Amino acid sequence: MNTAPTTTAPIEHEDRWILPLRGLAVTRIGIDFRLSLVLDGGWEAVLETPARLSVGAVGPGRPVVPETQDVAAALPLFGAKVTSAVAFKSGSLRMVFGSGLHLVCPADASFEAWQVAGPQDRRFVSLPGGGLATWGAG
């Protein structure tokens, strides 16, 4: 089975960016004051503020709180393949995995909630108070 993403560059829409993470697997999980999801293909998602992990798009889900290392709910993401990754221009991140898990990290009022970095110095960062910064080659 091919694990390469279906696109090689992020795709911009009016309200969001579709990140080219489809088919990439979580190869390492790092935990300190952040939760790092290292993906094959040279991509990494780093969460620094509370997020929610749920089975499917609905339901209460379980909290993931990196600053207190309360991230046990995210451990099943190890080895999971991304089926969808969306960086909303409002500052939220949504990642969906083949296992059915949905990881959502909203923007934070005071801090950069998350960032996704990849090849060619491509970076997406949730700005304090909402909004999205992006830079790097496409």
Q: Compute CA distances 42 → 21, 118, 126, whole Å.
A: 10, 6, 20
Radius of gyration of the chain (CA): 14
CA–CA gap between residue 121 and residue 21 (Å, rounded)? 15
Residue 4 has pLDDT above 50, yes or no: no
Considering the entire predicted model, what is its pTM? 0.91
Mean pLDDT of the 78-87 span: 98
Please write the tens of the pLDDT for every residue from 112-127: 999 999 998 999 999 9
Reported as a pLDDT band with limits 50, 70 and 90, residue 2 is very low
User: Which amino acid does the sequence have at 62?
Assistant: R
pLDDT (0 to 100) of residue 7: 52
